[in-house]
Structure 1
Amino acid sequence: MKRKKMIGLLLVGSLLLVGCSSKKPEDKTSGKKEDKQTISVASASELSTGDVSLAMDNTAVQAVSQFGEGLYAFDGNGKAVPALAKEVVEPTNNGLTYEFELREANWSNGKKITAQDFEYSWKRTVDKKTASPQAYYFSGIKNYQKIADGDLEADKLGIKAVDDKTIEVTLEYPMSYFLELLAVPAFYPLNQEYVEEKGAKFGTDSENILYNGPYTMVGWSGTNNEWSYEKNKEYWDKEQVNFDKINVTVIKEGSTAQNMFDSGQLDEVSISGDLVAQYKDSPNLAIRSVPGTYYIELNTKNGLFDNVKARQAVALSLDSKTLAEDVLRDGSLESPGFVPKGFISNTTKKDFAEEVGQIAKSDKKQGQSLWAEAKKELGKDKLTISILCSDTDNAKKISEYVQGALNDNLDGLTVDVKAVPFNNRLEMSRQGEFDIVLGGWTPVFADPVDFLNLLTAKNSNNFGQWDHPKFNQLIDQVNGEFANDYDKRWELMMEADKIVSEEAPLVPLFQISESYLISDKISNFKPGPLGPVYYKDLK
């Protein structure tokens, strides 16, 4: 097969490692020299699933990315590099047909990975019975939309195992970012015999998962807060896996994570706020700027936020710059709009968000005026709502800022904060059991539509159930009619981003910055575009 020149948007992000010593520290807990093949890391939240069809949140994607693998993986710059596919290929049939040849590789039980494993997995994910929150990633693959609309069965999806080692994929329209999309866990393979044997237990604990990535997982019961990744002896590229074991502990309090890092119990932790400033001169601090957005999503079906003026009042009462610079103080940036900075046009070489302009605005007086009009239209003078968030220090800190700003600025409104365990927050979001929910998004592939897709009416991640005909039409055109017209797509996406700002179904809070403390014994620490670090790449 021919090698394909990678064409697409440039995704701008960086990791600044303040310093990294080559010194190997002693284990401060045991007094013995550390085993260089084992490290211990922190997770900010509990693990929700080990099923690649259901892994949507950051923690699940982080886990699945260690013990699973698809046709491609991301390199440190967010580009697709061959994993189970033998090489990077170019499409035929005017960009509509891809043919992939698999390398020799095994599942963790020693059975061969085949093209049929990919065909089964993809069709399982788009099947409505699976209820996958990732199914929409298959938009653009032949017949996906008809399957999603219930007009065709899942087995009509445009993927076919030509033989055990050859996969043919047919698209509805060309996608310049298709190979990057194939690095997403939703596109990983699944062994049909194993999944069907396990039934409802599949993916619910480490004993009921079949692995094909650099690591297997042990010690996860489905509800506990500790587990480990162990080197997969059947992995095709095991010689490049440097660490034999990665121990994971869920740590929700920043001070606890800090203390465990300082005492040598943890080798990698994520930190925020004051801790970033505290470690600003430390060689162990790594800061990554991310083209991602933290936001609050408003439930448009709760009887209050179906009123556009109420939503606009909330948006105008919040100040992204103040939150980022004065509250968080961790390198996070003011949000320009829902789509963050970091997407550069191939033709104009301009940043998408900079072309759109600063559309996330703060104007407390205008917010108060719109709120008064909204209350009059609703026939209510006193209202009480709650902000749903995860029970981590950072999530509670952000939610408390939003709570205070709304209580202070919007007369007659009382705002509470409801902090719950991550898995509960995720389930309540999916069920629409919230007034306001705190969330965030980092890009899966280098295109602004990865953000905008989330707010289409049929997207399962549109938790606030916003339904705007013009917005839906624009995104349909971006993904369909104008899929081959790069400049027109860009123009339509800018228009769609402005509608999000005007209608305020969600309110961008800040552009994300991620800060880590990294042990001296770890090098080549490179978070990927999905957020997770591939532990395979650590040295």
Structure 2
Amino acid sequence: MKRKLALLLALVLLLSVFTVACGKEESTDVKKEDGKVVDEPKEGSDEDIDDEQYVTLTIIEPQAIDPSTSNDIYSGDILNEITEGLARLETGEDGGDVVVPAGAEDWDVSDDGLVWTFHLRDYEWEDGEPVTAHDFEYGIKRNINPETAAVFAYLLYPIENAEACNSGEKDLDEVGVKALDDKTLEITLEKPCAYFDKLLSHRIMYPQRKDLVEQWGDRTGSEAEYTISCGPFKLTEWTHKSELVLEKNENYWDADNVKLEKITYKVIEDPSTAYNMLSNGQIDICGVSKPEWLEKFKQRDDLVYVSEPQPSIVYQFFNQKTKLFSNANVRKAFILALDREELLDVLYYGIGEPAYGWIPPVMKVGDKLYRDIVDEPLKKLKEENLDPKELLIKGLEELGMDPDPSKVTVKMLEGGTDAENRRFVEYYQQIYKKVLGINVEAEYVDWPVFLDRVYNHDYEMAGMGATADYDDPMTFMTDFLTEAQNIPTGWSNEEYDELIRKAQTSLDNEERLDLIAKAEEILLYEDAVVSPILYRKSSRFQYDYVKNIIKPLYGPGIEFKYAYIQGRNK
């Protein structure tokens, strides 16, 4: 998602306003609920598509449209439409995700799995300049360069010397990424990596224009004029806090297969506004969660409904650099104070599944579902601690603080200021007061401000969401490596780091399962680093004239490359 950051506690907006970030293929030609067809597809073929090819949907204001410095899912969705990386993530005939060649026509892997050689196709940037292997080398190394401070740099650590360079121990020219010529890119890994092919479509490996990044500087990705496309679409307008407009990129190498001429993303944060816009046809696609609107839209013959499990989780997290949350028992008290079943019904209208682990149920290690084999750690923690308030008092005493919970006041940082954000925070205020006897004060800020404060550790507790970047539990577990800090809690654990590093390089799935399970136990049961709340499900409506959307389970949100409009005015 990752990804990877979604909304904080008002993550319901992902269901209510924004097109859901991840899910299985969700064809616009059928209605599905929990993966089952609940309505027959409408007839039609792409031979008689509409003359006007445009689609409108909602989004939260992106942080920046820069593959190196942005890390929210909204910028990720835009980047996916305007950039052609080495590969794209699509959906295969069996409904599963497949990595398909894109900017690279093909690639070779050495027998030891360490040297990957990519052969680029002939394609161009929107200004007519050719995309070269040097653009990929520059983009990848820009992400590794510690001066860039790219949040997702740790995903590149399987590359030779990438981690050492990112930590300042080695120079960029020692990183195992090299353009052999304009059309050949060579990447050398430090050790075998079981999931490296699944990173090829991620923004962290996108090509970037050195000349433009150096010319634009800090403005890169801040406005439409400071972005450049080599993908199916190009960003032509960005009116901040209003809308983003993408238009078909005529210079795209596969432009003949791109039918849509225009995609408009309306920046809408209020769910009721979005629902009304869907109802009257102002937008074509919308995530919907509120029961009264779900039932209303399900009665309409012109809307398609999709609801499926996602590799995505909603969670709260704590700043361990503050005195209160430096104590594990205090963190455990906050985790156990929440009734996840009740919370799911009250805040998310039953859309999702209570989370007592960190790895979502849809994720696999090899061909086995991880959650079918590994018990959720928080269930054991809950069984052993029936009174969260006792844990809180114990933690306060260990900290040398007044053990009276009523003397405790915690500030909850919220990334939004509308009524939905307030509904979430008010619920948590009531629950923590009732169960723990503490006081919670809310700080409401806009999403970009929220991200800035969180990553500068200027918060006490907050909430976000995580969506998988690729089909492997490592996509969630590497977030907590000491050098990663993608979820900035200030936590570090040498044993956890060692377990995850072994799991990263092992090609034995049974060994990897064991290593990941031990690491998850440390993360949640022992150290209580984060508070998983729910595993997400998609809940989306779209008009039946929107055809051929691709919705991979992993990676960015809806893929519009092959989408088209047929029968809008019928």
TM-score (norm 1): 0.90
The equivalent of 2:182 in structure 1 is 164
Deviation at residue 401 of structure 1 after TM alignment: 3.2
CA contact 1:309–1:373 (8 Å) conserved in 2: yes
The equivalent of 2:327 in structure 1 is 307
CA contact 1:203–1:209 (8 Å) conserved in 2: yes
Residues 1:352 and 1:509: Cα distance change in structure 2 (over 3 Å): same
Partner amino acid, structure 2, of 1:201: R
The equivalent of 2:287 in structure 1 is 270
Deviations 1:27-80 (A, max 9, x none): xxxxxx98631111111x101111111231110101111111200010123321
**In structure 2, C-alpha distance between the alignment counterparts of 1:36 and 1:288, rounded to whole Å:** 30
Deviation at residue 435 of structure 1 after TM alignment: 1.1
Residues 1:237 and 1:13: Cα distance change in structure 2 (over 3 Å): closer
The equivalent of 1:329 in structure 2 is 349
Deviation at residue 113 of structure 1 after TM alignment: 0.6
Deviation at residue 514 of structure 1 after TM alignment: 1.9
Partner amino acid, structure 2, of 1:506: V
**In structure 1, C-alpha distance between the alignment counterparts of 2:356 and 2:336, rounded to whole Å:** 14
Residues 1:289 and 1:527: Cα distance change in structure 2 (over 3 Å): same
Partner amino acid, structure 2, of 1:123: K
Match of 1:353 among 367, 371, 378: 371
The equivalent of 1:372 in structure 2 is 393
The equivalent of 2:568 in structure 1 is none
Deviation at residue 111 of structure 1 after TM alignment: 0.6
Q: Note if 1:487 corresponds to 2:510.
A: yes
**In structure 2, C-alpha distance between the alignment counterparts of 1:142 and 1:322, rounded to whole Å:** 47
Structure 2 counterparts to residues 5-154 of structure 1, below 5 A: 13=24, 15=26, 17=32, 18-19=38-39, 22=42, 36-43=52-59, 45-76=60-91, 77-87=96-106, 89-154=107-172
Residues 1:21 and 1:479: Cα distance change in structure 2 (over 3 Å): closer
The equivalent of 1:30 in structure 2 is none
Partner amino acid, structure 2, of 1:50: I
Residues 1:520 and 1:320: Cα distance change in structure 2 (over 3 Å): same
Deviations 1:303-356 (A, max 9, x none): 11101110010111112222224441242111140111112333xx43212322
Q: Note if 1:499 corresponds to 2:522.
A: yes
Q: CA RMSD for the aligned pairs?
A: 2.2
Q: Note if 1:175 corresponds to 2:197.
A: no
CA contact 2:114–2:191 (8 Å) conserved in 1: yes
CA contact 2:457–2:488 (8 Å) conserved in 1: yes
Residues 1:421 and 1:23: Cα distance change in structure 2 (over 3 Å): farther
**In structure 1, C-alpha distance between the alignment counterparts of 2:387 and 2:199, rounded to whole Å:** 41
Match of 1:526 among 550, 559, 564: 550
Residues 1:350 and 1:387: Cα distance change in structure 2 (over 3 Å): same
Deviation at residue 210 of structure 1 after TM alignment: 1.5
Deviations 1:342-385 (A, max 9, x none): 12333xx4321232213223467421111111122231231111
Instruction: Give the secondary-structure state (helix, strand or coil) at the position aligned to 1:94.
Output: coil
Structure 2 counterparts to residues 209-228 of structure 1, below 5 A: 209-221=227-239, 223-228=240-245
Residues 1:446 and 1:246: Cα distance change in structure 2 (over 3 Å): same
Q: Which has the higher contact order (CA 8 A, sep 6+)?
A: 2
The equivalent of 1:295 in structure 2 is 315
Residues 1:122 and 1:238: Cα distance change in structure 2 (over 3 Å): same
Instruction: Give the secondary-structure state (helix, strand or coil) at the position aligned to 1:86.
Output: strand
Deviation at residue 90 of structure 1 after TM alignment: 4.5
The equivalent of 1:422 in structure 2 is 447
After superposing the two structures, state which structure 1 stretch, 462-471 or 99-108, moved more. Answer: 462-471
Instruction: Give the secondary-structure state (helix, strand or coil) at the position aligned to 1:536.
Output: coil
**In structure 2, C-alpha distance between the alignment counterparts of 1:453 and 1:195, rounded to whole Å:** 28
Structure 2 counterparts to residues 384-399 of structure 1, below 5 A: 384-391=409-416, 395-399=421-425
After superposing the two structures, state which structure 1 stretch, 131-140 or 360-369, moved more. Answer: 360-369
Figure out how many residues of one structure are paired with residues of the other and give that number.
513
Deviations 1:376-408 (A, max 9, x none): 223123111122222266555444433322111
**In structure 1, C-alpha distance between the alignment counterparts of 2:368 and 2:111, rounded to whole Å:** 31
Partner amino acid, structure 2, of 1:58: I
CA contact 2:108–2:118 (8 Å) conserved in 1: no
Residues 1:340 and 1:478: Cα distance change in structure 2 (over 3 Å): same
Deviation at residue 134 of structure 1 after TM alignment: 1.3
**In structure 2, C-alpha distance between the alignment counterparts of 1:359 and 1:224, rounded to whole Å:** 40
Match of 1:510 among 517, 529, 534: 534
Match of 1:338 among 349, 358, 372: 358
Partner amino acid, structure 2, of 1:424: V
Instruction: Give the secondary-structure state (helix, strand or coil) at the position aligned to 2:147.
Output: helix
Residues 1:175 and 1:37: Cα distance change in structure 2 (over 3 Å): same
After superposing the two structures, state which structure 1 stretch, 364-373 or 164-173, moved more. Answer: 364-373
Instruction: Give the secondary-structure state (helix, strand or coil) at the position aligned to 1:39.
Output: strand
CA contact 1:73–1:183 (8 Å) conserved in 2: yes
Deviations 1:88-115 (A, max 9, x none): x441141111111001100000011111
**In structure 2, C-alpha distance between the alignment counterparts of 1:404 and 1:179, rounded to whole Å:** 46
The answer for unaligned runs of 5 or more in structure 2 is 1-21, 33-37, 565-570
**In structure 2, C-alpha distance between the alignment counterparts of 1:471 and 1:410, rounded to whole Å:** 29
CA contact 2:363–2:472 (8 Å) conserved in 1: yes
Partner amino acid, structure 2, of 1:334: P
**In structure 1, C-alpha distance between the alignment counterparts of 2:233 and 2:23, rounded to whole Å:** 29
Residues 1:398 and 1:120: Cα distance change in structure 2 (over 3 Å): same
Residues 1:136 and 1:20: Cα distance change in structure 2 (over 3 Å): farther
CA contact 2:356–2:533 (8 Å) conserved in 1: no
**In structure 2, C-alpha distance between the alignment counterparts of 1:416 and 1:14, rounded to whole Å:** 41
